[in-house]
Amino acid sequence: MNVIVCLKQVPGTAQVKIDPETNTLIREGIENVINPFDTYALEEGVRLKERFGGKVTAMSMGPPQAEGALREAVSLGADEAILLSDKAFAGADTWATAYTLASAVNKLGQYDIIICGRQTLDGDTGQVGPELSEMLEVPFVAYVSRIEEIADGQMRVQRMVEEGHEVIEAPLPTVITVVKEINVPRLPSLRGIVKSKSAVIPVWTVPDLGVDQSRVGLAGSFTKVIKVFFPQRVCQGEIFQGELGNQVECLMGKLKDAGLV
């Protein structure tokens, strides 16, 4: 069972700031982590390896510091890790990201299953997984909450839908995205950390992938973020203080002023 896990390094906090000039996240000075949803993908990949043998390859497209996320993936059980990093990859939308990942998967060659988190914490689109399967021309199942069985080149999985669960069978190779209900990710092990520190993580660039530069990064993106903003608060709550009687009086006054009573 050869498993590829796609993961992304994201800011480890919800308190991110947006650069008003470029409309991108200000990543400086913020601790980065593996996208939480991707940790479930990695854990499931490692569990598949433990059940069926084979290996887990963690893959990430990102700036050079994304190597940190891949080292962490090795400490959590990934056998190999590959970083897709090139200035030309910067500014990619989901399509250009999926194209780059698909090119790397094709370069890797044989695989049985690709696992992604359901979405990222920063982009929140949930599109890279399905687009990746499209480009690789393999089946896709989203929101997988349980892998029931893998046998004879087929996998049966449970997927979360609004009213319950669906059970789906798909031939391998397949791309799936997983939800957090699928497992409880393990903590790193001391031996894993030691291994991760010395792990060799190759960096694949545009020439390594042999891709068309106009199809990756900002140049290859069909969508462009024009503006990122916090929604304006149109109305605000008001808290009355003091004695209860006074509070009731204030409230009634306000309601009367507004013509509501």
Partner 1 sequence: MEYFLTEEQKTIKSLARRIAEERILPVRAELDETEEFPWAIMKDLADADMFRVFVPEEYEGLGGGCLELCLVVEELSRVCSAIATCYAVNALGSFTLIDYGTEEQRRKYLPDIAGGKKLTAFAVTEPTAGSDVSAIKTTAEKVEGGYVLNGTKQFITNGGEAEIYTVIALTDKARGVRGASAILVEKDTPGFSFGKKEKKMGIRASATRELIFRNCFVPEENLIAKPGMGFLLAMKLFDHSRPGIGAQAVGIAQGALEVAVDYTRQRIQFGQPLISLPVVQDILGEMATQVEAARALVYAAARMVDSGAKKVTEESAMAKVFASDVAMKVTTDAVQICGGTGYMRDFPLEKMMRDAKITQIYEGSNQILRNAIAIELRKRKARTE
By the criterion CB under 8 A, which residues form the site for partner 1?
Answer: 186-194
Nearest-approach distance from CB 186 to partner 1, in angstroms: 6
Nearer to partner 1, 191 or 227 (CB): 191
Closer residue to partner 1 in complex, CB, 187/234: 187
Q: Supply the minimum distance, in Å, between the C-beta of residue 125 and partner 1.
A: 29
**Cα 186 to Cα 40, 42, 72, 82, 93, distances in angstroms:** 9, 10, 12, 21, 31
Residue 154 structure tokens? 């087929």
Least separation in angstroms between CB 72 and partner 1: 12
If the CB atoms of residues 103 and 196 are measured against partner 1, the closer one turns out to be 196
Sign of CA pseudo-dihedral 50, 171, 81, 31: negative
Q: Which is nearer to partner 1, 62 or 185 (CB)?
A: 185
Burial class (CB in 10 A: 0-12, 13-18, 19+), 167: exposed
CA-CA-CA-CA torsion for 176, 177, 181, 185, nearest 10 degrees?
A: 90
Find all residues with CB under 8 Å of 75, minimum gap 6, and list them.
188, 189, 192, 193, 195, 196
Whether residue 176 contacts residue 186, with contact meaning beta carbons closer than 8 Å, is answered with no
Provide, rounded to whole angstroms, the least separation between the CB of residue 193 and partner 1: 6
Q: How far is the CB of 187 from partner 1 (least distance, A)?
A: 5
The residue among 151 and 190 lying less far from partner 1, judged by its C-beta, is: 190
Minimum CB separation from partner 1 for residue 188, in Å? 7
Strand stretches in the chain, DSSP E: 2-6, 9-11, 17-18, 25-26, 32-34, 55-61, 80-84, 113-117, 140-151, 154-161, 164-171, 174-178, 203-204
Q: Do 144 and 167 touch, CB atoms closer than 8 A? A: no
Q: Of 56 and 114, which CB lies nearer to partner 1 in the complex structure?
A: 56
Angle between helical axes of 190-198 and 67-75 (0-180°, round to 10): 140
184 vs 235, which CB is nearer to partner 1? Answer: 184
Work out how close the CB of 194 gets to partner 1 at its nearest, in angstroms, rounded to a whole number: 8
